[in-house]
Amino acid sequence: MLLNPVISKLSGKLVVLASASPRRLEILSNAGLRFEVVPSWFKETLDKSLFKNPYDYAVETAKQKALEVAHRMPFKHLKSPDVVIGADTVVTVDGLILEKPTDKEDAYRMLSRLSGKEHSVFTGVAIVLCHDKSGSDTDYKVVDFYEETKVKFAELSEEMLWEYINSGEPMDKAGGYGIQALGGMLVEYVKGDFLNVVGFPLNHFCKQLGLIFNSPPESPAHKVKRESDEAWTLVNSLSEGAANEEVELLENGKDGSRMSMQEQNVIGTECSRQDIPHSIISLLDGFKASKTLFTASKLKVFDVLNSSNSLTLEEVAGQINASVLGTERLLEAAVSLGLLERVKQQNTSVYRNTEQASRFLVSDSPESLNGYILHCNDMVWPLFSHLENAVREGTSQHERAFGKKNEEVFQDAYYSKDEVKIRFMDAMHSIARVTGKDVATAFELSPYKTACDIGGCTGAVAYEFTKVHPGLSVIVFDLPQVIEMRRHFQPKETDDRVSFVAGDFFKDDLPKADLYILARILHDWSDEKLHVLLSKLSKMCTPGCGLLVSEIFLDEERKRPSRALLQALSMTEGKQRSPTEYSDLLEKHGFTPKHIKHTDNLLDAMLFVKEDPNDKRTLLGCSSASIETAELE
């Protein structure tokens, strides 16, 4: 059975891979599956001795990885997945389960044990199906299975063993080898699914997807008691001491398929007294996790670790000028949050950045969010510490938090010393770099030749537009003091199709263009000020002129967790809106909505076109009602 026929069943669903493994990512990507990667925070500390079979251990670990991500995403990532895929691969020989080696000596012991022998590679896979119920509840159904492949190693000499170990390849591989790379030279034969040894049994996975999405709604099932209730009580440290419970399990199939359909509720109706409200606990501790990220960024932990492959606790403490005790607790918290890794090297522990931290948290990374993280720590965090007053009064808390009124804080950001301006611009630049490409590629823009990015700050979004639209030139229009400081943020390779014009978009004439871009602008201002800006735009635009709005879009029914709803608690003079509300706002000024794009990034996008009141045809050839049937990508 091929995966392609199932792709249509997954269309429009948020599919998530709960694994940072580049090999699993590559296997599923090559198969044509579209998904996001959200590495699981589940600690793989299950007691192997409590599982009757090695594949039971692999399946249970995969299940807990997937469920942890499914439970966490609505509250930490503010979006709910439809399908979460978890996987865990183990190598077994002589009755022992071999996972990833902790150091070179451990790799040597593993590979020596495998030398000249046939061993089994088991991959447990869990597919979590998430179904929203009424209110904020979610049902989770788990379909799990395993695949076994037999692998025979050649007799390995000491020289070959150490040559392979010193290559570094064994250190992040189950069993200490990667068959798809240098490890392939150790293997005499393979019996079974080769990709299973790489890290993911694609064929078996495809068959399970076919059963899930193509099977009749009723399937024979019966209730059986768990084989080891004690093992299950140790699955999650938060649920120790929970009473034994029954779950639905389909009979074990001959091919190793278990197809368990376990329903779990996050905030449960019909909860037993022992059930733990994981979502509430996540919210209780959420501020601590945020402050851990903020503090590690403020102290330059990720920059320090980026300058070296790995550092000991004492080395990190010395470089960030902090106590060893405080540094240890900060680093361990960051490890638990998936921001750092701790590994053993020569009888000591060292710390290093995760791939995600290197990409988004190191300050000089091309996709760094460091500037915005520091802005959240210095500006947003103090505001939200006065949230009770903000709610009671319905006013901004800038004066309590900073001793200045909202407009004075705004003035500081643009008119004060250069370092203050640069700090604020760096925050805006961080968001623009991470979101710019997805906004720029949201729509087909070939009819437009000139664009104006209003309030475009450092030009980060403008450069992304010219990269993906060769026929487009972009004018960045922002305050003189912002334009003056842009040189601190210009890319190494400049583009002469991006130009900068200074002005105040409330007071001065706007540059002439075919397309106007409003990225993170409309939510900031009162309706009165928006009327001034949109009236100016409406007068500037001829029929067919485009307007691209990029904001965090509210869910129409306000049922899902939303960054926009949380951001609105800062009580600025503006407000957050849904796509329908943005459409209503823009239509009052002669702009008709044509397309909407939910990017799954920090910002979404909508494309509007200025209508000719005497001719309802537009440059893009859409009728004014086409928002109902436009491609909702």
Instruction: List Cβ neighbours of 218 (8 Å cut-off, separation of 6 or more).
Output: none
| 234 — pLDDT class (breaks 50, 70, 90) | very low
What is the reported pLDDT for 5?
Answer: 61
What is the reported pLDDT for 16?
Answer: 93
Average pLDDT over residues 579-591: 94
Q: 176 — alpha (psi -120 to 50), left (phi > 0) or beta?
A: left
Residue 261 and residue 248 in contact, taking contact as beta carbons nearer than 8 Å = yes
With both helix axes pointing from N to C terminus, report the angle between 324-336 and 313-320 in degrees, rounded to the nearest 10: 110
pLDDT at 619 over 60: no
Q: Which of 88, 303, 453, 604 is catalytic?
A: 88
What is the reported pLDDT for 20?
Answer: 85
Which domains does the chain show, CATH number per domain?
A: 4-276 (3.90.950.10), 280-365 (1.10.10.10), 418-628 (3.40.50.150)
Portion of the chain with pLDDT greater than 70, in percent: 81
Least confident interval from 33-37, 134-138, 375-379, 580-584 = 134-138
Q: d(Cα 112, Cα 168) in Å, to the nearest integer? A: 16
Tokens describing residue 258: 């278990």
User: Coil, strand, or helix at residue 61?
Assistant: helix
What is the reported pLDDT for 409?
Answer: 63
Least confident interval from 59-73, 264-278, 609-623 = 264-278
- H/E stretch holding 506 reads none
Tokens describing residue 94: 């002589």
The per-residue pLDDT of the chain, averaged, comes to: 81
pLDDT at 632 over 50: no
Instruction: List Cβ neighbours of 307 (8 Å cut-off, separation of 6 or more).
Output: none
Chain position carrying tokens 């735009």:
537
What is the reported pLDDT for 248?
Answer: 32
Q: Report the sign of the C-alpha dihedral through residues 474, 476, 477, 483, in that order.
A: negative
Nearest to 123 by CA among 153, 99, 93, 152: 99
Average pLDDT over residues 127-132: 88
Q: Is 88 a catalytic residue?
A: yes
pLDDT tens-place string over residues 450-496:
999 999 999 999 999 999 999 999 999 999 988 888 877 877 667 78
Q: d(Cα 564, Cα 586) in Å, to the nearest integer? A: 19
Half-sphere exposure in the Cβ direction for 130 (13 Å, CA): 25
